[in-house]
C-alpha cells in the first residue's frame, strides 16, 4: 500500500526561546523576539521595510529553540537568514529542554547557508524530539529570519 503524506511546518507559531534578545536601531530599539523566526513571514521585513527577525545579543554559544509541544519525527529543517554571520551552525533535535537543547542529537553539524538572504533545507536522519534548536559555537549574534520544521507527530 502506497501512502503519501503532505508534510506541514510543525514549528509554525509554536513557543520559542533564544539565549538573549537584541534590540535593533532599525526597529526603534524594540526587542527582536525569538518568535519572529517561526511566524511564517519569509520576507524578514515589515510593511515599511523594517528588518524583523529573531536576534540574540553578541554572546558566546547563542541558541534559538522551538518547542513543538509534542514529540515528532523531524525529517527536514529549513532555515532562512538575512546575513552570513550564522555560518557555520548546528541543528539539534531531541527531548532535552535544558541548555537550549545543546545536548540533543545532531541533525546537521557545520551547516551553512548561501549568500545573504539565503534559504536552505536540511535533511535530518528521522530524528525524534520535541525541541529543535539552532546553535553557534562561538561568540556572535544569532540572527534568524525564518525556521520551518517538517515532520510527523508521534501518537
pTM over 0.85: yes
Write the burial class of residue 107 (CB in 10 Å: 0-12 exposed, 13-18 middle, 19+ buried).
buried
CATH T-level assignment (fold) for domain 9-153? Jelly Rolls (2.60.120)
Q: How far apart are CA 119 and CA 7, in angstroms?
A: 18
For 18, how many CA atoms within 13 A lie in the half-sphere containing its CB? Answer: 28
Per-residue model confidence (pLDDT) at position 85: 80
Per-residue model confidence (pLDDT) at position 27: 57
Per-residue model confidence (pLDDT) at position 118: 80
Per-residue model confidence (pLDDT) at position 130: 98
Per-residue model confidence (pLDDT) at position 149: 98
Per-residue model confidence (pLDDT) at position 24: 67
What are the Cα distances from residue 35, in Å, to 4, 41, 86? 31, 11, 18
Question: In the chain, which stretches have pLDDT less than 70?
Answer: 1-5, 24-30, 45-51, 84, 116-117
Closest CA to 123 of 74, 64, 90, 72: 74
Closest CA to 38 of 56, 20, 15, 21: 15
Closest CA to 37 of 98, 152, 119: 119
The residues that bridge with 139 in the sheet, in sequence order, are: 60
Q: How far apart are CA 31 and CA 45, in angstroms?
A: 14
Q: Which residues fall within 8 angstroms of residue 5, CB to CB, at 6 or more apart?
A: 152
- 8 A C-beta contact, residue 130 and residue 95: yes
- C-alpha cell belonging to residue 5: 503524506
Domain borders along the chain are 9-153
What are the Cα distances from residue 112, in Å, to 28, 41, 55, 90, 118? 30, 21, 18, 9, 10
Amino acid at each position: 500500500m502506497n501512502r503519501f503524506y503532505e508534510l506541514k511546518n510543525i514549528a509554525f507559531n509554536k513557543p520559542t526561546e533564544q539565549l538573549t534578545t537584541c534590540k535593533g536601531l532599525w526597529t526603534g530599539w524594540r526587542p527582536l523576539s525569538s518568535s519572529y523566526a517561526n511566524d511564517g513571514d519569509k520576507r524578514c521585513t515589515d510593511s515599511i521595510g523594517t528588518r524583523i527577525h529573531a536576534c540574540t545579543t553578541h554572546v558566546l554559544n547563542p541558541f534559538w529553540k522551538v518547542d513543538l509541544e509534542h514529540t515528532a519525527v523531524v525529517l527536514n529543517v529549513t532555515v532562512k537568514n538575512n546575513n552570513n554571520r550564522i555560518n557555520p551552525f548546528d541543528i539539534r533535535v531531541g527531548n532535552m529542554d535544558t541548555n537550549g537543547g545543546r545536548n540533543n542529537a545532531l541533525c546537521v553539524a557545520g551547516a551553512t547557508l548561501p549568500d545573504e538572504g539565503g534559504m536552505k533545507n536540511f535533511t535530518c536522519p528521522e530524528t525524534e524530539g520535541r525541541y529543535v534548536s539552532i546553535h553557534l559555537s562561538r561568540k556572535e549574534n544569532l540572527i534568524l529570519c525564518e525556521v520551518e520544521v517538517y515532520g510527523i507527530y508521534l501518537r
